[in-house]
Amino acid sequence: MAQLRFDAALAAIDRAQKLDPTRFFMMRGSILDHMGRASETLKLIVSRDAMFDRSDPALLMLTCEAHLYLGEYQQAISDCEHAATGADVYWVYLNLAAAYAQAGDIANAKKAKDELMRRAPTLTIARYMGKPFSNVPAWIEQQRAHVLPGLRQAGVPE
């Protein structure tokens, strides 16, 4: 995944899940998100929850991200807010700031942006897009349509 070889990463996870089908959901979902396949991420999490007959709070960050990438801002907000209670990472606040702004809640978008900047003080939109998270056109388009406009509205520096 770090080498942007997403198909190879999924193939490796397929092999690992043949040995242990109860693992690697977070990684598979993250890869799917970075391939611009957020709807598949959500289906994966639903099937995982059915397998275990319960949800996994650790996957809320993925559902938050997937809903944001699909333009489902209210659901993204709900999932991001829940994820923020247990996730000690700045990513959830990046997604939360974008989702709030895209939903028109600029006051909460700015609060999420402030927390994002507290946790990642050197983050800029240019640095975010300059990191090699994905080179897949569908992912880049989702960023341009749903994430970047929200980050700009929330006040994340360019």
What's phi and psi for 123, nearest 5 deg? -70, 135
How far apart CA 68 and CA 76 sit, in angstroms, is 5
Q: What is the pLDDT of residue 87?
A: 80
Q: Assess contact for 101 and 149: CB atoms under 8 A.
A: yes
The answer, as to whether pTM is greater than 0.95, is: no
Q: What is the pLDDT of residue 2?
A: 86
Which long-range contacts link 82-90 to residues 24+ away (Cβ below 8 Å)? 82/57, 83/57, 86/57, 86/58, 86/60, 87/60, 87/61, 89/61, 89/119, 90/116, 90/119, 90/120, 90/123
Q: What is the pLDDT of residue 128?
A: 92
Q: What is the pLDDT of residue 9?
A: 96
DSSP annotation of 36: T
How far apart CA 132 and CA 23 sit, in angstroms, is 25
Per-residue pLDDT of the chain (158 residues; tens, 9 = 90+): 889 999 999 999 999 999 999 999 999 999 999 999 999 999 999 999 999 999 888 899 999 999 999 999 999 999 999 999 988 889 999 999 999 999 999 999 999 999 999 999 999 999 999 887 899 999 999 999 999 999 999 999 99
For the chain, the straight-line distance linking the first and the last C-alpha, in angstroms and rounded, comes to 27
Q: What is the pLDDT of residue 141?
A: 95
Q: Assign 102 to helix, strand or coil.
A: helix
* Both tokens assigned to 67: 């809903």
Specify the CATH number for 6-154; select among 1.25.40.10, 1.10.3720.10, 3.40.50.2000, 3.30.70.100.
1.25.40.10
Instruction: Give residue limits of the domains in the chain.
Output: 6-154
Q: What is the pLDDT of residue 143?
A: 95
C-alpha gyration radius of the chain: 15
Q: What is the pLDDT of residue 37?
A: 97
